[in-house]
Amino acid sequence: MAIKNYFPGDLVELEDLGGGIQRKIKAYHENLMCVEVHFAKGAVGKMHTHTHEQITYVISGEFEFNINGEKKILTKGDSTFKQANIPHGAVCLKSGVLLDIFTPCRKDFLKK
């Protein structure tokens, strides 16, 4: 994977994932990825697992996170850590934006 140092936000379009969720890949390389995720009120990030470690920072809105069966409501300025293969998901209670950081890079998010 070639190194790219700059990712101008206005050159990256929001990808519509359906169900009131949109994603914009902010920056990435082999071992790290930063993704902005926009949620409409009521949108659900279904419970899932993956082999990547993940940190989520709440930029705006209100979300009920479920990490391995433990539910917490988080708002602007809060964050989470999800270790590899832990079940997690979220429900958006007030429309908002999350910033997800993954290690290693989520190559499945990149267009081929």
What does the DSSP 8-state code read for residue 84? T
**Does residue 9 sit within a domain?**
no
CB atoms closer than 10 angstroms to residue 94: 13
* CA 104 to chain centroid: 14
CB atoms closer than 10 angstroms to residue 33: 22
Q: SS3 string of 33-66?
A: EEEEEEECCCCEEEEECCCCEEEEEEEEEEEEEE
**Does residue 7 sit within a domain?**
no
**Does residue 52 sit within a domain?**
yes
Domain count, the chain: 1
Distance separating alpha carbons of residues 33 and 42, to the nearest angstrom: 26
**Does residue 55 sit within a domain?**
yes
Q: Let me know: does 104 contact 50? Beta carbons within 8 Å.
A: no
**Does residue 6 sit within a domain?**
no
**Does residue 1 sit within a domain?**
no
pTM of the model: 0.94
Residue 38's domain is classified under what CATH number? 2.60.120.10
CB atoms closer than 10 angstroms to residue 102: 20
pLDDT by residue, tens only, the chain of 112 residues = 899 999 999 998 999 999 999 999 999 999 999 999 999 999 999 999 999 999 999 999 999 999 999 999 999 999 999 999 999 999 999 999 999 999 999 999 998 6
Q: Which 3 state secondary structure label does DSSP give 8?
A: coil
**Does residue 37 sit within a domain?**
yes
| pLDDT score of 20 | 98
**Does residue 4 sit within a domain?**
no
For residue 61, what are the domain limits? 22-107
| pLDDT score of 56 | 98
CB atoms closer than 10 angstroms to residue 38: 21
